[in-house]
Structure 1
Amino acid sequence: MSTEPQPIDGLPSYAELRTRTDAPAGSNWFLFGRDDQIGTLNLLRHNSLCEAAGEVRDGTAFHLDLPSDALTSSLAPTRKPAEHRIFSRTPYHHDEWLDGFYTQYGSQLDGLRHIAHPDHGFYNNADPRRFTTDDGLLGMANLAAVPIAGRAVLLDIGRYLEGTGAPLDHLSGPAVGVEVVEATAQAQGTEIRPGDILLLRFGWLDWYRNVASDQVREGLVTNQFHTGLRQSHEMVAWLWDHRVSLVAADNFALECWPAQPDSPFFTDPEIHGGHEDPHAGIMHRALIGLLGMPIGELWDIDALAAACAEDRRWSFLVTVAPMPLVGGVGSPANAIAIR
């Protein structure tokens, strides 16, 4: 089965986007309208819910969010686990609140306020001076209102590489190139259709929960080398040219962390000026900032992947329900797969 992209919407290819002179090169800015705030979720229009419902065969649902206590310590130095408070007004009543709730702590969806391109700014030239809690520009409420539901496919990269005898060594944080992504799709016989939601399984969460020692897990916040996609224009092209509406994975940042030294997404000051930025060279800048593609991270895909591998069926229906937080930067994913 061919996995070549089948564009049906008249939108430019990524190669054509990189030649733009009316907007930042490599961006799709203004192609969905100058006031657009949902980016590649516009592509869900190609993803018929009636057809997506046909992907449900055995009626099994999978919750793709980690429990709140699944990460024993934060994976990012700026994010901490929430403090959960419960109180009672009477012996027959309970209520609760959260202190220090970081919307992108666990299984999450990065919104379009999250990352800008350092040279060009935020998606669709949105003015970051409006990024306040009472202004909805590029906020999560826009993504929640879409709503996000449709056909999804899983590419089980970790299982594919294990089958080739070259499993990923998550301790060293390997970079996975686009050729491996494509080879996985070919080996599975998986067709990616315009508007699909794409899930990538590296096997990172399985390693984190079942293989990594307590010492290794505790050290991840300071010694961050995480498995993920290699930063490249070819990878961005693969996602855009396949008209992926949303991409999510079971690892820390979708892409490998930190960015590879040959990443094409370093800015000139980062290359020549020694500018210290933990986000230097990351592909988020192209995916979120230039294409408006929401990114899911730390999704709990293992049980779903096992079911897919058992019957060799890698497509299903997915719903994603981010918090309708006005002005929100990110959200718990609240994702469910039904197959």
Structure 2
Amino acid sequence: MGEPNKMLPGTAVEEYFTSLSNWGRWGGDDRRGTLNLITPAVRREAVRSVRSGVAVSLARDIDPVTPDPLHSGMATVERKTDVREVERALGVKMRWDAFADHIVIAPHGGNAHLDGLAHYSWDDKYYNGFDADATTVDGGAVDLAVHHAADGLITRGVLLDIAGLFGVEYVERGYAVTPADLEAAEARQGVTVRAGDALLIHTGNAAAILAHGPLNRGNGDHGPLDNAQTGLDASALPFLWERDVAIMGADGTHDVQPPQYSDLNFARPIHSVCLVALGLWLMDNLDLTELAARCADNQQWDFLFTANPWRFVGSTSSPLNPVAIL
């Protein structure tokens, strides 16, 4: 396994909010952030990544019986099914009938989901300077909701297989993936992350938790943040900015847990800097196990990436079923 970079001080992470900022890059009223990098030309080029036409889902079933398979402690899924609506309404059994659902779901949890740009704030500001105080319990995120991704997330996808790089089924939980690891994976796989890409990072984190359950590595002071997960080292943030990544997904929550920093203001540097400074949309808790295996078998690490979030006004997130087409 690679040698991790010396951990950056919190002050260096704080400087990223300025040095890696995309505020104003696409105009002062922009609400799409790095999705602006997915141009028609990028989409046309992404189609060239399709070789076999095989499609692979990057999510797991949303199951009300076991709603939080990754033990995030935050997921809520409830489903109630209205059975035989016509018979109940008319009082007469018909040859045809209807069945319908009422569903309650908290996307920010153990299921695959998209983090919108209003999911995180820093010093009371969202991406592009929008005021976090404008978000309310009833009104939701009035400025940066997920409906701004209404055109879908359709671009070239690249999988960087960090587990494969280290020759393991899953990287040790709590390991922080460095920019050197990302570059080594590119070299090993013969692929380069480029502007407008959906970058997917496979560490085997989800597979480890599903197989063996959560692993507590902290002292209990940080609550759910003590459950060990692999994630990106904060020093990898310039890599994302320099490569102009449009969307990033991982088989975890991107940030190393337990936190790298004792100052919990920096407990989630990847989420905070990506969503607030870069305007980079994140996809948490993807299932990348099958995709990694198929990519390795085919020696094909780029593909057409597709995902269509809800056009949900005011929502900071959306459940997601991303699909890679090889």
Shorter-chain TM-score above 0.5: yes
Task: Identify the residue that residue 201 of structure 2 maps to in structure 1.
Answer: 200
Matches within 5 A, 1:1-339: 24-45=18-39, 48-69=42-63, 72=68, 75-77=71-73, 79-88=74-83, 89-90=85-86, 92-99=97-104, 101-105=105-109, 106-118=111-123, 121-132=125-136, 133=139, 136-143=142-149, 145-162=150-167, 168-170=171-173, 173-210=174-211, 212-213=212-213, 221=224, 223-232=226-235, 235-251=236-252, 253-261=253-261, 270=263, 280=267, 282-339=269-326
Stretches of structure 1 lacking an aligned partner (at least 5 in a row): 1-14, 263-269, 271-275
Could you tell me the TM-score, scaled by structure 2's length? 0.81
Report SS of the residue matched to 2:184: helix
Q: Is the 8 A contact 1:46 1:194 kept in 2?
A: no
Residues 211-247 of structure 1, C-alpha deviations (whole Å, 9 max, x = no match)? x05898xx99474121111122xx1110111111011
Unaligned runs of 5+ in 2: 1-11, 88-96
Corresponding position of 1:9: none
Deviation at 1:326, TM superposition (A): 0.4
1:98 shift after superposition:
1.6
Shift of residue 47, structure 1, vs aligned partner: 5.1
Q: 1:131 to 1:199 in 2, by over 3 A?
A: same
Distance in 2, Cα, partners of 1:213 & 1:26:
36
Higher helix share goes to which structure? Answer: 2
Greater than 6 Å deviation, 4+ residue runs = none
1:131 Cα deviation after fit: 2.1
Contact 1:87 1:94 in 2 (8 A): yes
Hey, what's the Cα distance between the residues in 1 that align with 2:116 and 2:191?
A: 27
Cα-to-partner distance string for 1:175-205 (whole Å, 9 max, x where unaligned): 1211111111111111222111111100112
C-alpha distance in 1 between matches for 2:291 and 2:148 = 28
CA distance in 1, matches of 2:194, 2:69: 38
Following superposition, the deviation at residue 315 of structure 1 comes to 0.4
Give the AA of the match of 1:85.
K
CA 1:244–1:108 in 2, change beyond 3 Å: closer, same or farther?
same
Instruction: Give, as a single letter, the amino acid of the residue that structure 2 aligns with 1:338.
Output: I
Please name the residue that 1:3 is paired with.
none
CA spacing shift, 1:153–1:73, aligned 2, 3 Å: closer
Cα gap change, 1:312 to 1:114, in 2 (>3 Å)? same
Residue pair 2:170, 2:203 contacting (<8 A) in 1 also: no
Q: Output the aligned Cα RMSD.
A: 2.8
Percent identity, aligned pairs only? 29
- The DSSP-based 3-state class of the residue aligned with 1:48 is helix
Opposite residue 42 of structure 1, the aligned amino acid is: N
How far did residue 281 of structure 1 move? 5.1
- Deviation digits for residues 58-82 of structure 1 (CA, Å, limit 9, x no counterpart): 11111111111365556334x2331
